[in-house]
Amino acid sequence: MKITYIRICSILLLVILLSGCLAPQSDIDENQSPNEQQLEQVQHAVETYQEETQGLLPIKTKSNDTPIFQKYLIDFTTLKDSNALSEIPGTAYENGGVYQYTLITPEENPRVRLIDLQMTEAIRSVNVQLDIYRDEHIYPPFGEEIAEDIYTIDYQKLGFESPPSVESPYSNEKLPILMDVEGKLYVDYRIELNNALNDNEHNYKEGDDIRYILAENTPFVPAYSLPYTIKDGDPVFSSIDN
């Protein structure tokens, strides 16, 4: 009888331990995938806040030279304090997730989109090696010039075994990391832009910023991107401010 009791207690303890281990992993997995319901909740909260504040937006203050797709990050503290949002989404960086919530076209039609912070980490890891290299050399490790003042990275000089890239939030593609003449890093979205131009109806013409075709048709913005336009039906680098 005593042995049976011990076995029952052991089984119960094992179940409790397994539950404790599995639940957090489930939460982690969920927080690493874009959640349409959470996006809609934040969108509604932004609209509610805007209505109640005569047009103000719940965004963090950023400098004017912040790249456009990283400039209008949502301030969840403001949304919660105003009761427009009851809790921060689990997918949000502020709540342990891997996304930053941001707005596109804030002046005309504010819409909630995501920045994939796994890309941020990939950029950061390359920057670490780049900083080490630049401590000892005058010029960044330029590779091939693929457009005016835009280069691939001589990855071997940074100690990498292959050209640095990031996993695309739009597909399973690996997107190259490029460098400008000052050594600043960017993600090359030409593969995804080409796919989007072919898959979606549009009226873009040369000189337009075509990056919005990605932000308009998916939950993600093309963070860390250079500006692109269209020429002869193909995406090309542009001189548009980014």
**SS3 at position 113:** strand
pLDDT, mean of residues 124-136 = 96
Residue 189 one-letter amino acid:
Y
Q: What are phi and psi of 97, to 5 degrees?
A: -85, -175
Query: Is the pLDDT confidence value at 194 over 60?
Result: yes
Please report which confidence band the pLDDT of residue 241 belongs to, taking 50, 70 and 90 as the band edges. low
Say how far apart CA 165 and CA 119 lie, in whole Å: 9
Mean pLDDT of 189-215: 96
Note whether 139 and 149 are within 8 A (CB).
Answer: no
Tell me the pLDDT band of 186, cut-offs 50, 70 and 90.
very high
If you average pLDDT over every residue of the chain, what do you get? 88
pLDDT recorded at residue 13: 42
Residue 32 has a pLDDT of: 56
Q: Give the side-chain half-sphere CA count within 13 A for 179.
A: 21
Rounded to whole angstroms, the maximal C-alpha distance in the chain is 83
pLDDT at residue 209 in the model: 96
What DSSP assignment string belongs to 51-67?
HHTTT---B----TTS-
* Reduced DSSP (H G I as helix, E B as strand, rest coil) percent helix, strand, coil of the chain, to 5: 40, 20, 40
pLDDT at 239 (0 to 100): 75
User: Does residue 5 have a pLDDT over 80?
Assistant: no
Q: Which residues contact 158 (CB under 8 A, 6 or more apart)?
A: 126, 129, 130, 133, 141, 164
Per-residue pLDDT at 172: 85
Burial 161-179 (b: 16+ CB within 10 A, else e): eeebbbebbbeeeebbbbb
Q: What is the mean pLDDT of residues 184-201?
A: 97
Return d(Cα 127, Cα 144) in angstroms, integer: 19
Mean pLDDT of 101-116: 96
Give the rounded percent of residues in the chain with a pLDDT score beyond 70: 85
CA 51 to chain centre: 27
Q: Which of 25-39, 85-99, 138-152, 223-237 has the lowest mean pLDDT?
A: 25-39
Asked whether the predicted pLDDT for residue 9 surpasses 50, the reply is no
Q: pTM value?
A: 0.84
Query: 155: number of CA atoms within 13 Å, CB side?
Result: 12
pLDDT at residue 128, as a whole number: 97
Confidence band, pLDDT 50/70/90 cuts, at residue 156 = very high
The band of 17, judged by pLDDT with boundaries at 50, 70 and 90, is: very low
Residue linked to tokens 């000189």: 207
Give the Cα separation of 99 and 119 in Å (integer): 10
C-alpha 174/C-alpha 176 separation (Å) is 7
